[in-house]
Amino acid sequence: MGQNNYFKFFTLLAFVAFAAISCWATAESLHLLQPDLSLVICWVVSVGFFIIASLGTKFIVDSLNQNIYIEKRGALLFGGIILVILFWLITVMPTNTHTFFYRNVINETVNKDITTTQNYLSQIKSNTTFKESIKNKIESIENSFNGKLQDLKNELNNPLNPGNGEEVKRILKIFADMLDQKSIEPLSQNGSSSQDRAKIFEAYRSKLVDMKDDYINRLNDKFQQQDTLYKQREEAAEKAYNEIAILQEQIKAGKINLNDAKEIKDVSSKINMGYAVIQAYAEAVNFQPKEDRKLYTDKNPVSKVKRLTSVFDVWKDFIKGDYANSGFLFWVIIAILVDIAAFIFFDITFKKEA
């Protein structure tokens, strides 16, 4: 075997090695996208696409080689470019990047998705947000009410403008907002003596206290009614929470392989159940950060884990800027370099001689 043959044998082995990495990454990405599709079929597709892409690069190199005779160089160059665009730039390179990136971030993504989803499910289970909103509202009313009553008394007795004036109307507007009233009309009396103004204030106080007590009773009634209605939602949240908790324990115990397409499909399905419950009862959730509200309340919410299994969604999210500072570009470069290395060794191995 001549020296040239040894070199060609080496470049062939190098091509096979780099091509194998690329085909594996493409097959894995396709299987993540369609886990019900046979992995064998995914491999057949990836190998076929890579060979066609490699032939495309060879057509380009041959068409540009002026040392050999080629008919219709322009057509060969154009055909090679089309093959490279269709079978590499649009297919092989994006799927390879997807697989490399997926394997780098899947563990962290699953853990964060589980933790966040469990947090929101816990809020639904305990009615925390709704209970606290009612409690805080009642406390706010109680804390503000007496202070505003004193402001009203002081204004009625204001020596510069005693009785019902514009400032009294402004204070009554504050009471109306506080007690969920459209408006509170000033009393018709406008006493000139301190005794008359004391009577007017007492009439206001009695009226406002009745309004306050009535409003607080309505808030408590609403709480009791909603608390009964929320039993069903609490059961749904409890079920979804427990499913995810079991899932979390299985992952920690190493019983689930997050790189396996069928197992990650089951993982994302259970997390999506939590998303669906949160979407249905979003009013009981305090979303932090605020951006989570859009994620969980979408018409058809899709978990971050589920999106990560789709090459299309991963690239769309990258283009939108969702993967800034995540190292995505690094894996794009790695995917490109692996394929370029394979193409170079392919073109050297099967270089057309003069």
Task: Summarize pLDDT for 129-166 with one digit per residue, the tens.
Answer: 666 777 788 888 888 888 888 888 888 787 666 666 77
Against a cut of 0.75, is the pTM above it?
A: no
The two structure tokens encoding residue 87: 């079978």
Number of CB atoms found within 10 A of residue 234's CB: 17
Structure tokens given for 334: 């790695």
Confidence of residue 195 (pLDDT cuts 50, 70, 90): confident
Using alpha carbons, list the distances in angstroms from residue 338 to 39, 135, 271, 281, 342: 22, 60, 34, 47, 6
Q: What is the pLDDT of residues 246-276, one digit of tens each?
A: 999 999 999 999 999 999 999 999 999 999 9
pLDDT of the residue at 226? 65
Is the pLDDT score of 354 beyond 70?
no
C-alpha 86/C-alpha 59 separation (Å) is: 14
**DSSP letter (8 states) at residue 162:** -
Cis peptide before 162 (omega within 30 of 0): no
Q: How many residues does the chain have?
A: 354
84-131 tens-digit pLDDT: 999 999 999 999 999 999 999 999 999 999 999 999 999 888 766 666
Please tell me the least confidently modeled range out of 189-198, 247-256, 292-301, 340-349: 189-198
Distance, CA of 194 to CA of 201 (rounded, Å) = 10
Beta carbons within 8 Å of 45's beta carbon, 6+ residues apart: 26, 27, 30
Q: Are 346 and 58 in contact (CB under 8 A)?
A: yes
